[in-house]
Structure 1
Amino acid sequence: MKRLGIMLSAILLLTSTAQAADLGWNSGASPVYSPTPASGWSGFYAGVNAGYGWGTLTRQPVGGGAQTQNNTSGGQFGAQAGYNMDMGGFVLGGEADLQWANIGHTEDLPGVGSFKAGIDFYGTLRGRAGMSFGQVMPFVTAGIAAGRGSASLTNPGGVTTSQSATHMGWTVGAGLEAQATENISIKAEYLYVDLGTQSYNGLPAGVGNIDATQRFSVVRAGLNYKF
């Protein structure tokens, strides 16, 4: 009985080995499994994204004085384009994006009117570095940022005076991108954006000439198409 069990085990083992050989599992060319990803990350891509931003607006009179800091928040959406180089698991690339934004602060100033300041749109030019795990790639990113800010005051009579300025700064962040098909990928990303300080001159009394500093965080989701 013991010998019969050993013989049956040997037959099952030989049968399994033969089936594995027929499937090519031992040859490295299996149609079921391959250590090579179905699609690499190299190439140009472009896509769209949308998200939410929050941060701080710091303002003070031009030339110095007391600072006022307020929270900012709002939505944003835009488009991005870039290029990746897949070096066998380590991915290097660059990406540029342009975002419409409504990240700002509104405040009622008693006897003066409604003051509003924020970022209307911004863009970044960043390097990216990631590690690919098949169709999934976590990455870090950093670069320069620029945006247009605005500040306005609407007096009790409904008259609005508005000024705008171009901010320059930097950004850093991280994210995760995953390939849905050979050409389409989805991503989730966090960015911290520091657009520095710019002067807004010519606003009415009660606000006056101010230096405004814009810093904010963004979380966003995106869709890319690789060409």
Structure 2
Amino acid sequence: MMRKLVLALTSTALLTATAHAADLGWNGNSSPVNTMYSGSSAFQWSGFYAGVNGGYGFGTLSREPSAGGVVTENNTNGWGLGAQAGYNADMGGFVLGGEADLQWSSISHSEDLGAAGTLKASVDGFGTVRARAGMAFDRVMPYVTGGVAFGNSTVSLTDPANVVTSQTNTHLGWTIGAGLEAAATDNITIKAEYLYVDLGAKSYTTAPGGNIDATQRFGLIRAGINYKF
């Protein structure tokens, strides 16, 4: 399902960029010119950039007894806010680069366990270090991206006496996604992006009934703004 969504987003980005390039395809005499991709872009994407972003995440928390047993899956959701920085190299319309970001997150799942209390599992924050590859159609660039993801997750149990037992672990995983970025001015760009993040499994001792291995996987739809130096 995740792969189909990424492919759909990439196709949409490419179609949008092609249409935008066609709209810009006029010469000084206001007569149409060939609007096919020319192998170079008037706007130069090369350089360092930094910015902020925000979006909404939705995914799955998987829990399995560390000794083996039944896997329980629950839906998660929440917001993400953060900042990113990166570098682009414009190779005549084909753009390669790298980007790193750090995010605050409220993506979580809470469950009433009856007499045992309330169990909550949350992604407190995460980050990614990714490669990006895009095709520049003047000031519009669809791209794909992928790399390493890491994050802090907390599992807590609040008993009926309101005593909280919690444990936080650092997870390491991977991410893949696609997006569309457009230059509003020579220094300001805006983007819309989808990332799928798999933070991998870690063992927790706070759940009733013994240790569990918890895995956080989620998709994040976000928008951002960058300043190009």
- Identify which of 201, 211, 214 aligns with 2:213: 211
Q: How do 1:170-209 residues align onto structure 2 when only pairs under 5 Å count?
A: 170-201=174-205, 203=206, 206-209=208-211
What CA distance in whole angstroms lies between the structure 1 residues aligned with 2:225 and 2:67?
Answer: 45
1:38 is displaced (CA, Å) by 5.2
What CA distance in whole angstroms lies between the structure 2 residues aligned with 1:99 and 1:128?
Answer: 18
Q: How do 1:68-217 residues align onto structure 2 when only pairs under 5 Å count?
A: 68-201=72-205, 203=206, 206-217=208-219
Question: What TM-score do the two structures reach when normalised by structure 2?
Answer: 0.81
Query: Does the CA-based 8 Å contact 1:38-1:182 persist in structure 2?
Result: no
- Identify which of 34, 37, 62 aligns with 2:66: 62
Question: What TM-score do the two structures reach when normalised by structure 1?
Answer: 0.82
1:94 is displaced (CA, Å) by 0.2
What CA distance in whole angstroms lies between the structure 2 residues aligned with 1:39 and 1:131?
Answer: 12
What one-letter code is carried by the residue in structure 1 that aligns with 2:73?
A: Q
What CA distance in whole angstroms lies between the structure 1 residues aligned with 2:101 and 2:191?
Answer: 14
1:25 is displaced (CA, Å) by 4.5
Query: Does the CA-based 8 Å contact 2:141-2:182 persist in structure 1?
Result: yes
What CA distance in whole angstroms lies between the structure 1 residues aligned with 2:160 and 2:210?
Answer: 16
What CA distance in whole angstroms lies between the structure 1 residues aligned with 2:188 and 2:132?
Answer: 18
Query: Does the CA-based 8 Å contact 2:41-2:93 persist in structure 1?
Result: no
Structure having the higher Rg: 1
- Count of residues in correspondence between the two structures: 194
What one-letter code is carried by the residue in structure 2 that aligns with 1:220?
A: R
Runs of 4+ aligned structure 1 residues displaced above 2 Å come to 35-39
**For structure 2, which runs of at least 5 residues remain unmatched after alignment?**
1-26, 30-37
RMSD of aligned Cα (Å): 1.6
1:37 is displaced (CA, Å) by 5.0
Q: Which residue of 2 aligns with 1:221?
A: 223
Instruction: Render the CA deviation track for 1:37-79: whole Å, top value 9, x for unaligned.
Output: 5531000000000000000000011111121110000000000
Query: Does the CA-based 8 Å contact 2:124-2:154 persist in structure 1?
Result: yes
Relative to structure 1, is the Cα distance of residues 207 and 77 closer, same or farther in structure 2, using a 3 angstrom cutoff?
A: farther
Relative to structure 1, is the Cα distance of residues 207 and 101 closer, same or farther in structure 2, using a 3 angstrom cutoff?
A: farther
**For structure 1, which runs of at least 5 residues remain unmatched after alignment?**
1-23, 27-34
